[in-house]
Structure 1
Amino acid sequence: MASQASQASIAPQAESEQPLLSVQDLKICIQMDNGEMKAVDGVDFEIKKGKTLGLVGESGCGKSLTSRAIISINPKECETTGQIVYHSTSEKTLNNLNLLSLDPRGKQIRSIRGRKIAMIFQEPMTAFSPMYTIGNQIMESILIHRTKNKKEAKKIALEMLSKVGISDQEKRFDQYPHEFSGGMRQRAMISMALSCNPELLIADEPTTALDVTIQAQVLELMKGLQKEFGMAILLVTHDLGIIAEMCDEVAVMYLGKIVEQSTVDEIFYNPKHPYTKGLLKSMPKLGTDRNKRLDSIEGTVPMAINLPPMCGFYDRCTDRIEGVCNVQAVPKTQLSDNHMVRCFLYKDKNEGE
């Protein structure tokens, strides 16, 4: 059941300081037979207008649940609390609006979902209905949010197919998803997401099922369309190469928490959390011995059920401090104005020596 936090309780910020979206203390719990799973546990981040935030981490760390909570499409078993504050750039009625206070099936969230905040799903073959043509499904969103005129909606859909690099749009418009290759389905998914000129695009593993050549084309396409439409992007991925290519800021997730957050340059050139360092070491690099094995992070992500107050990365960490990391929850440490880490190895910038 979503939090019923009052919209009026959210204090407005100055326009110059205002992000497009603020996620504050987001928690998503699921009741299991053997206890409560804290799938997302106190996540905070901001997405700035026209910028790209990367949400990175291993499978099962809560990235997709976090992104889907923004548009209220998680399963009903997910008990969600916190605030997701949306600051529309075009409509004053949507400014400082806590999306979690809205009915997930109500008219107001449905006017935002697809129109103001759009999403590219992880697997386009399952995201598209096999019963309807690609054109019909792109038109549906346009008819709901932009125009009731079917001829105009079709014209917009054809223009979007052209923008994402699909040739022979008239023919492709009447084809079904199974008649598209993986790369073309992903392009069609992007065209559907952008058909209503959203302010925020959520891309959940947008290139996972694609080969590297098509992957590069899709990323370049997203960057070009972002520049053209001026939209912000939340990019959810486990691939640090994509993060380096696409993002302005990075939030590293582990076991439902953001363990490190900063600019992309700071994360890649000055990582602090042992988990972030492990992810970077596991990336292949040009010029290294082809016979040398890549570094890996030993162990697996534990289940987030009935966890004691301790660092979730403790069992896998080579820098753990016995009697500290395993006996108390790890607070946030602000290393600088734009660099946060959850680790006992560092002191907050405001603490004395």
Structure 2
Amino acid sequence: MKAETATAKQSQDLLQVEELNIHFPTDHGMLKAVNGVSFNVYRGKTLGIVGESGCGKSITGKAIIGIQPKTSAISGSIKLGDVDLVKLKRNGREIRAIRGSKIAMIFQEPMAAFSPLYTIGNQIMESILLHRTKNKKEAAMLTVDILQRVGISNPEKRFHQYPHEFSGGMMQRAMIAMALSCEPELLIADEPTTALDVTIQAQVLDLMKQLQREFGMAIVFITHDLGIVAEMCDEVAVMYLGKIVEQATVREIYKNPKHPYTRGLLRSIPTIGSRKERLESIEGTVPIPINMPPMCGFFDRCQDRIPGVCDKREVPETQLSDNHRVSCFLYADTDNETEILS
């Protein structure tokens, strides 16, 4: 029975990331932006990747679509079905055929994603002409259709307008329309609502959920907002200093958070009815991951740290249940203290 369950679960895998490393050589040493990250993305589901700025969230998303900086050294595997995206040439024909058609990305700042020299319609059409049809009239009709589906009024007129003629909310919708124009299997949304007010933010999130149901696509939702994660995601991966320190279902993360960093993030969220005058915060900042010694990267900021243990070696990953894993010495097998300190 267990074997059948495992096989069924494996068949739902859309993307498998295993031991992903993204390092940058610097004058001061190797900067390990992403260090041994592993996770799966399932068809029709949403994985949230959360953490502070500088934890490696965005560069992980860019690596999936193959647009990480040229100066980076990447290793590990990113498998879309049987294709390992890490092994494909950066601008080769194979990755270009996947990028936009099977995997698409919504970037943090839509104003920077669109060229001011071309109309919105022409820029969305470009992807459709590349991946779906060579007929310009049909591509224009598909562009108007996707603009309408993302809630842009009078799409025939908006098709001929330039980015500076769109409001912030409309630009975000146009960015979503561009990403979904070829009906991708996987959508990577990198802080897609950061620059929007709360009303427009709610509209955009509802739109993404509606389109996910319509297209049946998977979503990797990159954010620092755990409130959005609760609304959007099925599973959460908490990143810190280039590593996933805890991963579980949304319900498990909110009900039973284990890692001190996860608990700190949750305590910083305002709640209705709370009488606290000030929200709690995590003291300190994310260290720069250059020449880091073998230790827990959260050690200096952790209220539950164990001196002589957490600062002596790399933290092992502990599988708490089928859907919950954490990297923390509080949950590791520490029966043999001599072995841990060696």
TM range (shorter): over 0.9
Q: Say if 2:21 and 2:37, in contact at 8 Å, map to a contact too.
A: yes
Whether 2:305 is the aligned partner of 1:324: answer no
Q: Say if 2:317 and 2:332, in contact at 8 Å, map to a contact too.
A: no
TM-score (norm 2): 0.94
- In the other structure, the counterpart of 1:279 is 265
Whether 2:164 is the aligned partner of 1:164: answer no
Distance in 1, matches of 2:301 and 2:123, equals 45
1:1-353 pair list within 5 angstroms: 14=7, 16-18=9-11, 19-87=13-81, 96-289=82-275, 292-347=277-332
Distance in 1, matches of 2:166 and 2:178, equals 15
Letter of the 1:321 partner, please give it. Answer: I
Distance in 2, matches of 1:162 and 1:146, equals 18
1:282-322 residue CA offsets vs partner (Å, 9 max, x unmatched): 00000113x60000000000000000000000000000000
1:255-293 residue CA offsets vs partner (Å, 9 max, x unmatched): 00000000000001100000000000000000113x600
SS at match of 1:171: helix
CA shift, 1:347, in A, is 3.5
1:177-215 residue CA offsets vs partner (Å, 9 max, x unmatched): 111111100000000100101000000000000000000
Q: Which runs of 4+ in 1 moved over 3 A?
A: 13-16
Distance in 2, matches of 1:37 and 1:136, equals 39
CA shift, 1:331, in A, is 1.0
State the identity as a percent: 68
SS at match of 2:97: helix
Q: Say if 2:172 and 2:192, in contact at 8 Å, map to a contact too.
A: yes
Q: Say if 1:335 and 1:347, in contact at 8 Å, map to a contact too.
A: no
- In the other structure, the counterpart of 1:9 is none
TM-score (norm 1): 0.91
Q: Say if 2:16 and 2:39, in contact at 8 Å, map to a contact too.
A: yes
CA shift, 1:15, in A, is 6.2
Letter of the 2:314 partner, please give it. Answer: A
CA shift, 1:16, in A, is 4.9
SS at match of 1:318: coil
Q: Where in structure 2 are there 5+ consecutive unaligned residues?
A: 1-5, 337-342
Distance in 1, matches of 2:287 and 2:92, equals 36
Distance in 1, matches of 2:180 and 2:230, equals 23
Distance in 2, matches of 1:15 and 1:342, equals 27
SS at match of 1:345: coil
CA shift, 1:101, in A, is 0.6
Distance in 1, matches of 2:117 and 2:73, equals 32
SS at match of 1:60: coil
1:199-251 residue CA offsets vs partner (Å, 9 max, x unmatched): 00000000000000000000000000000000000000000011000000000
Q: Say if 2:296 and 2:314, in contact at 8 Å, map to a contact too.
A: yes
Distance in 2, matches of 1:152 and 1:327, equals 62
Letter of the 1:68 partner, please give it. Answer: K
CA shift, 1:14, in A, is 4.7
CA shift, 1:33, in A, is 1.2
1:79-116 residue CA offsets vs partner (Å, 9 max, x unmatched): 000000111xxxxxxxx110101001100110000000
- In the other structure, the counterpart of 1:7 is none
- In the other structure, the counterpart of 1:90 is none
Q: Where in structure 1 are there 5+ consecutive unaligned residues?
A: 1-12, 88-95
SS at match of 2:10: coil
Distance in 2, matches of 1:276 and 1:40, equals 18
Computed over aligned residues only, the root mean square deviation of the Cα atoms, in angstroms, reads 1.2
Letter of the 1:17 partner, please give it. Answer: Q
How many residue pairs are counted as aligned between the two chains?
A: 328
